[in-house]
């Protein structure tokens, strides 16, 4: 099998590539991104460049590519701050990828990383599979348009699309990025690494969360499901758990001690608060659960998974 992972230089893309390789050792896996961490090119074929450029896509997509995991995107805060960049990558890049897939030997499976930023405005207290997307950010708008494009490509028989609306992924390793949700990982990651973290939102702020381990499992599961398992929309809201910022910090304290909790400082940021407050925090995800997707059992598990994956010792 031949696979392409866009956004393959990011931590989720790289983790997905390794999980896919462990599952299918003989698979040919190409990663496409604007940059790659050192050493990744020794494990996979890496194509560096802009997703929206045809020559880059031509280098990354082999005619026998059977499956594409489309993770590449300008993240929420970045897409809101740079309107043109967000649309060029998140919308034009997605359209260019879909067009390029039409030239493949057979219509590929395409697993698309969408977002709960698809929702916003006046919402019910608990969202479900029938809630209409009403994005209130450019990022959310771009993601919803991508969902519709992929569903239409599927309807026309030009792809076998599967869109996953991802919760906020916590705990992300590495440095903070431009995502408005970056604080959700920062208030855990930095304290566990002995660094002070500034939280831009009140501790009562709710977040819909899924761990990196579970989201990689979700990508693989979405790929392996038969097309008949998917609704006409080709979209599911992934299961997650709802926590306030205070509940996240307290859970970290139960795993790593009071010292880590004391390294979280609250420094309000009106811009981040303005974006985050539009996001829903509670879902009923009957459709995804019936399809075999699953959430983390608790947040302590996500913290422990981060510590184990990053090789960080837990205080005695």
For the chain, what are the domain ranges?
A: 2-167+211-237, 182-208+241-283+292-310
> Which two structure tokens, joined as six digits, stand for 222?
């979405």
Average pLDDT over residues 283-300: 97
Average pLDDT over residues 94-100: 96
3-state secondary structure string across 166-178: ECEECCCCCCCCC
Nearest CA to 135 among 150, 123, 152?
123
> Does the pLDDT at position 314 exceed 80?
no
In the annotation, is 3 catalytic? no
> Does the pLDDT at position 283 exceed 70?
yes
- Sorted by sequence, the CB contacts under 8 Å of residue 139 that are 6+ apart come out as 73, 74, 75, 76, 79, 80, 86, 90, 115, 117
Pick the CATH number of 182-208+241-283+292-310 from 3.30.70.1060, 1.10.3470.10, 3.30.930.10, 3.90.25.10: 3.90.25.10
> Which two structure tokens, joined as six digits, stand for 65?
């590519």
Read off the pLDDT of residues 219-270 as tens digits, 9 standing for 90 and up: 999 999 999 999 999 999 999 999 999 999 999 999 999 999 999 999 999 9
> Does the pLDDT at position 316 exceed 70?
no
Read off the pLDDT of residues 51-95 as tens digits, 9 standing for 90 and up: 988 999 999 999 999 999 999 999 888 898 999 999 999 999 999
In whole angstroms, give the CA distance from residue 76 to residue 137.
8
How far is it between the farthest Cα atoms of the chain?
58
pLDDT bracket for residue 274 (50, 70, 90): confident
Residue 108 CB neighbour total at 10 angstroms: 22
Average pLDDT over residues 20-34: 97
Looking at residue 269, its pLDDT comes to 94
Looking at residue 76, its pLDDT comes to 82
In whole angstroms, give the CA distance from residue 303 to residue 315.
13
Looking at residue 278, its pLDDT comes to 79
In whole angstroms, give the CA distance from residue 187 to residue 306.
13
Cβ burial of 212 (10 Å; 0-12, 13-18, 19+) is: buried
Note the residue count of the chain.
316
3-state secondary structure string across the chain: CEEEEECCCCHHHHHHHHHHHHHCCCCEEEEEECCCCCCHHHCCEEEECCCCCHHHHHHHCCCCCCEEEECCCCCHHHHHHCHHHHHHHHHHHHHHHHHHHCCCCCCCEEEEEEEHHHCCCCCCCCECCCCCCCCCCHHHHHHHHHHHHHHHHHHCCCCEEEEEEECEECCCCCCCCCCCCHHHHHHHHHHHCCCCEEECCCCCCEEEEECHHHHHHHHHHHHHCCHHHCCCCCEEECCCEEEEHHHHHHHHHHHHCHHHHCCEEECCCHHHHHHHCCCCCCECCHHHHHCCCCCCCCHHHHHHHHHHHHCCCCCC
Contact 222, 164 (CB under 8 A): yes
Looking at residue 315, its pLDDT comes to 55
Cβ burial of 283 (10 Å; 0-12, 13-18, 19+) is: buried
Contact 199, 272 (CB under 8 A): no
Average pLDDT over residues 284-303: 97
Mean pLDDT, all residues of the chain: 94
In whole angstroms, give the CA distance from residue 103 to residue 158.
10
- Lowest average pLDDT, out of 93-97, 105-109, 145-149, 309-313, goes to 309-313
> Which two structure tokens, joined as six digits, stand for 15?
């983790």
List the catalytic residue out of 3, 87, 139, 306. Answer: 139
pTM for the full predicted model: 0.94
Average pLDDT over residues 270-299: 93
Please report, to the nearest 10 degrees, the dihedral formed by the alpha carbons of residues 8, 9, 11, 13 taken in order.
0
CATH class given for the domain over 2-167+211-237: alpha beta
Residue 40 CB neighbour total at 10 angstroms: 17
| C-alpha of 78 from chain center | 15
């Amino acid at each position: 099998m031949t696979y392409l992972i866009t956004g393959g230089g990011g931590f989720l893309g790289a983790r997905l590539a390794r999980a896919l390789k462990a599952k299918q050792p003989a698979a040919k896996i190409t990663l496409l991104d604007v940059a790659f961490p050192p050493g990744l090119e020794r494990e996979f074929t890496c194509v560096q460049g802009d997703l929206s450029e045809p020559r880059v896509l031509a280098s990354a997509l082999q005619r026998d590519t059977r499956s594409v995991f489309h993770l590449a995107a300008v993240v929420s805060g970045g897409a809101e701050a740079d309107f043109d960049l967000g649309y060029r990558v998140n919308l034009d890049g997605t359209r260019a990828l879909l067009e390029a897939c039409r030239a493949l030997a057979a219509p590929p499976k395409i697993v698309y990383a969408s977002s709960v930023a698809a929702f916003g405005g006046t919402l019910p207290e608990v969202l479900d599979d029938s809630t209409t997307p009403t994005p209130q950010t450019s990022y959310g708008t771009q993601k919803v348009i991508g969902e519709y494009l992929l569903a239409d490509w599927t309807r026309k028989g030009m792809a076998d699309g599967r869109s996953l609306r991802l919760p906020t992924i916590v705990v992300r390793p590495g440095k903070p990025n431009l995502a408005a949700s970056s604080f959700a990982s920062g208030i855990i990651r930095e304290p566990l690494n002995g660094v002070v973290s500034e939280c831009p939102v009140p501790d009562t702020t709710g977040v819909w969360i899924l761990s990196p381990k579970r989201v990689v499992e979700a990508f693989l599961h979405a790929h392996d499901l038969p097309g008949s398992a998917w609704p006409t929309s080709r979209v599911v809201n992934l299961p997650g758990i709802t926590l306030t910022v205070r509940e996240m910090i307290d859970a970290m304290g139960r795993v790593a001690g009071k010292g880590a909790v004391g390294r979280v400082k609250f420094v309000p940021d009106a811009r981040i608060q303005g974006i985050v407050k539009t996001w829903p925090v509670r879902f009923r995800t009957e459709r995804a659960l019936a399809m075999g997707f699953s959430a983390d059992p608790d947040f302590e598990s996500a913290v422990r998974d981060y510590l184990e994956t990053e090789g960080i010792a837990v205080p005695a």
